[in-house]
Amino acid sequence: MAKNNQSVQAIRGMHDILPEQSPRWQYAESIIREVMSSYCYQEIRLPMVERTELFKRSIGEVTDIVEKEMYTFDDRNSDSLTLRPEGTAGCLRACLEHGLLHNQVHRLWYYGPMFRYERPQKGRYRQFYQLGVETYGMPGPDIDAELILLTDRMWKKFAIRDKLRLEINTLGSTEERLLYREKLLTYFKQHLALLDADSLSRLETNPLRILDSKNKEMQSLIKDAPELMDSLGEDSRQHFQTLTDTLDQLGISYEINTRLVRGLDYYAKTVFEWVTNDLGAQGTVCAGGRYDGLVEQLGGKANHAVGFAMGMERLLLLLEQLDSIAVQNTVDVYMIRIGVAAEKEGLRLAEKIRNEVNGIKLQVNCAAGSFKSQFKKADKSGAAYAIVLAEDEMARAEVSIKPLRSNDEQINVSIETAIQFLKESI
């Protein structure tokens, strides 16, 4: 137990985003909004807590997330609740609950924190932010391609397109996967001695997940396993073929990775990941796919759904490495106030300036202090100009404007002239 006089620390794996970091986040968020609106995707805002059952029924009982990563607790009513580990299930729950899926097409996005009890390391946290995109009601591979185009456009806007490669695969329909499951089971049973403990426990419950194993010693066994492509029916084969043809036509390069199965049970047909080599083991920045079956699984009428989720921290790590964000000044003008009269008049004047100079970022010195110390703060703020309001200025109903980033002379002018000057200079 921490002693009472010790400060309380944040929870392991849950990070504060400090003021000096937030311009990067805001920049990334503004690009996301811009891209989403250019494809006419609508924002949906969802609760961060859902009934535990929702995740068990959607993500699947035998997945990393449900088996060991969820923050689950009983509320005061003894209902089992879970901090959302991902957004797909909650988004679909909301759309079903509000009847949004009856003969309608939707393109939605959401943004916010997700929670998973994982071992914290670079690019892997217990609270992390995701951009999630979900589309409903569209059966063809054109919407799969649109999601890939949209992500491709985001990478270009962030100037990280050459850092990411696209991997795609198809998981076929539920029936085809069952058929494949049998083939895999037979294969792995012939090599029981080569399976690690994790894989042995997956054998009966979810043998496809063995293909996702990161254990190096299992790789050659996995390499020789039967491929799902060979169990595909005509419909799935055609869907995948059209998708790859479309990507070819659009000039979007990709690799077909037949071992890409994704960690969640609900995917079928298209799956894809955008991967980088620059973030060590946490290389997947964005991942998604088609999950037509989930709508029925959660109690809706059979429908179509495709989506993806992007990890914001991994995106930000990439952007930081490239130093590709020009962080803007947060202060344009810093107001120095000397004396009681100036302190009073200053706040009023600052309001007038904010009213009249569109978009100006004006910081007023609020902790008093000598001219010298206020001036130091003005300089440190990064402001282009200091506005000085002291007894002299007050007596003449003027202000002084002092350029902080050039050798230009200080000017002493009327308030109207100062406003005109700032309008032209900021």
Which residues of the chain form contacts with ligand ATP (CB under 6 A)?
86, 116, 118, 123-125, 128, 130, 263, 282, 284-287, 309, 311, 313-314
Query: Which residue, 98 or 214, has its beta carbon nearer to ligand ATP?
Result: 214
Q: Is 168 helix (H, G, I), strand (E, B) or coil?
A: strand
Measured distance CA(2)–CA(415) in Å, rounded: 56
* Rounded Cα gap, residues 128 and 307, in angstroms: 19
The distance of closest approach from Cβ of residue 22 to ligand ATP in the complex, given in angstroms and rounded to an integer, is: 18
Residue 149: alpha-carbon gap to chain centroid: 17
CA atoms within a 13 Å half-sphere pointing along the CA-CB vector of 102 = 3
Strand order in the sheet with 80-83: 49-51, 80-83, 71-74
Q: How far apart are CA 76 and CA 79, in angstroms?
A: 7
Which residue, 128 or 155, has its beta carbon nearer to ligand ATP?
Answer: 128
Residue 408: strand, helix, or coil: coil
Name the minimum Å distance from CB 308 to ligand ATP.
8
Given a contact cutoff of 8 angstroms between Cβ atoms, the answer to whether 198 and 63 are in contact is: no
Dist CA 259 CA 219 (whole Å): 11
**Cβ 54 to ligand ATP shortest distance, Å:** 15
Write down the least CB distance from residue 293 to ligand ATP, Å.
Answer: 17
- Shortest distance, position 327 Cβ to ligand ATP, whole Å: 23
Q: Are strands 385-389 and 398-403 parallel, antiparallel or unpaired?
A: antiparallel
For the CB of residue 311, give the shortest distance to ligand ATP in the complex, in Å.
2
Closest separation in Å from C-beta 288 to ligand ATP: 7
Token pair, residue 310, equals: 């992007």
**Element (H or E) spanning 82, and its range?**
strand 80-83
Distance in Å, CB of 116 to ligand ATP, minimum: 5
Nearest 5 degrees, angle CA 89-CA 90-CA 94?
A: 120
Of 86 and 292, nearer to ligand ATP (C-beta) is 86
Alpha-carbon torsion (256, 259, 265, 269), positive or negative: positive
- Looking at the Cβ atoms of 194 and 322, the one nearer to ligand ATP is 322
Q: Which residue is nearest to ligand ATP (CB)?
A: 311
- Compare residues 124 and 209 and give the one whose CB is closer to ligand ATP: 124
